[in-house]
């Protein structure tokens, strides 16, 4: 990480947002989609016909152009204002990018006041070194192998930079980071790897929380999150996503974007 958040370059930005997304995805690793060769289960628990596998999202809605009440153009559309979406928005804001964040909720979601990061500056200050291959293997085992190892490795490689960035943001609210180092515990004779990667920002569980702080920072930069915007359809042309249509209290709104991130 550079000396300040504004020095993030565009290559690092990709890793920053993806690492945050990976951190969130790790908690859902056991719910990974079935592989193409696996038939989905029907409501009765039996294997459904393989030709139904492509229909699990349902039929894409048709929305008439006359039903669109507003059209907005942007360079970068971020769909979702959770942990991953706000990480991407925070980096985009520091880079001075032209972007829009949309979320179907009325406010940013609550967030746990701890975050995983591998080999951060705070870990190094406590003489903590992570066995990265062993950590990758452990998280793969924890997910019963139903995970994307490349995504986990991206988090392992890039999460330290994200923790440094979040720490700078949280310090603006008087919250300092600490490395949570749990005591040694019995693993029942199995060599489970318990790495020290969890970070907390003290005082913990006292508002404002991390997502709120990042959202307020974005607002200070002139980037408001468009709440109550529920995505109903992605737009695409020539095999590339070109934006999305959202259902709002005012009607359908269309956002045309050069790049789109589903967070």
Do the domain assignments include residue 53? no
pLDDT value, residue 232: 95
Q: What is the pLDDT of residues 20-45, one digit of tens each?
A: 555 444 433 333 344 444 444 444 44
Do the domain assignments include residue 133? yes
pLDDT value, residue 15: 53
CB 223 within 8 A of CB 94: no
Instruction: Determine the Cα–Cα distance for residues 125 and 179; give it in Å rounded to an integer.
Output: 10
pLDDT band per the 50, 70, 90 thresholds, residue 163: very high
pLDDT band per the 50, 70, 90 thresholds, residue 50: low
Averaged pLDDT for residues 126-143: 92
Do the domain assignments include residue 117? yes
Instruction: Determine the Cα–Cα distance for residues 255 and 263; give it in Å rounded to an integer.
Output: 16
Do the domain assignments include residue 51? no
pLDDT value, residue 201: 84
Domain limits at 203? 5-29+64-182+191-262
Instruction: Determine the Cα–Cα distance for residues 102 and 247; give it in Å rounded to an integer.
Output: 11
**Main-chain phi, psi angles of 135, to 5 degrees:** -65, -45
Do the domain assignments include residue 41? no
Do the domain assignments include residue 152? yes
pTM of the predicted structure, to 2 decimals: 0.72
Q: Which residue has the higher pLDDT, 137 or 206?
A: 137
pLDDT band per the 50, 70, 90 thresholds, residue 4: very low
pLDDT above 80 (res 129):
yes
Do the domain assignments include residue 50? no
Domain count, the chain: 1
**Bridge partners for 241 per DSSP:** 236
Task: Flag the least confident range among 42-51, 142-151, 166-175.
Answer: 42-51
User: Which domain CATH number covers 214?
Assistant: 3.50.50.60
Q: What is the pLDDT of residues 228-257, one digit of tens each?
A: 999 999 999 999 999 999 999 999 999 999
Q: Cα dihedral sign for 162, 167, 172, 175?
A: positive
CB 162 within 8 A of CB 2: no
The two tokens of residue 95 are 């880079």
Q: What is the pLDDT of residues 69-122, one digit of tens each?
A: 999 999 999 999 999 999 999 999 999 999 999 999 999 988 877 889 999 998
Instruction: Determine the Cα–Cα distance for residues 256 and 247; give it in Å rounded to an integer.
Output: 15
Do the domain assignments include residue 37? no
pLDDT value, residue 184: 67
Averaged pLDDT for residues 147-155: 96
Averaged pLDDT for residues 3-26: 48
Q: What is the pLDDT of residues 180-227, one digit of tens each?
A: 876 666 555 556 777 888 898 888 778 888 899 999 999 999 999 999
């Amino acid at each position: 990480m550079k000396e300040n958040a504004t020095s993030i370059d565009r290559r690092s930005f990709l890793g920053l947002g993806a690492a945050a997304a990976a951190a969130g995805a790790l908690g859902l690793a056991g719910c990974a989609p079935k592989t193409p060769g696996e038939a989905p289960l029907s409501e009765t628990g039996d294997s459904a016909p393989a030709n139904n596998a492509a229909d699990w999202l349902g039929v894409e809605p048709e929305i008439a152009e006359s039903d669109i009440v507003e059209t907005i153009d942007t360079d970068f559309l971020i769909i979702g204002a959770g942990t991953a979406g706000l990480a991407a928005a925070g980096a985009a804001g520091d880079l001075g990018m032209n972007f829009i964040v949309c979320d179907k909720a009325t406010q940013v979601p609550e967030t746990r006041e701890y975050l995983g990061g591998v080999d951060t500056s705070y870990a190094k200050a406590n003489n903590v070194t992570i066995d990265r291959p062993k950590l990758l293997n452990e998280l793969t085992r924890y997910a019963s192998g139903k995970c994307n190892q490349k995504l986990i490795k991206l988090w392992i490689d890039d999460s330290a930079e994200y923790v440094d960035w979040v720490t700078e943001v949280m310090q603006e609210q008087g919250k300092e980071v600490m490395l949570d180092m749990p005591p040694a515990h019995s693993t029942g004779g199995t060599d489970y790897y318990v790495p020290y990667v969890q970070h907390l920002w003290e005082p913990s569980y006292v508002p404002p929380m991390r997502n709120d702080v990042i959202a307020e920072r974005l607002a200070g930069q002139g980037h408001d999150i468009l709440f109550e915007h529920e995505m109903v359809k992605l737009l695409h042309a020539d095999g590339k996503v070109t934006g999305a249509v959202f259902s709002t209290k005012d009607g359908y709104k269309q956002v045309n974007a050069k790049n789109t991130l589903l967070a």
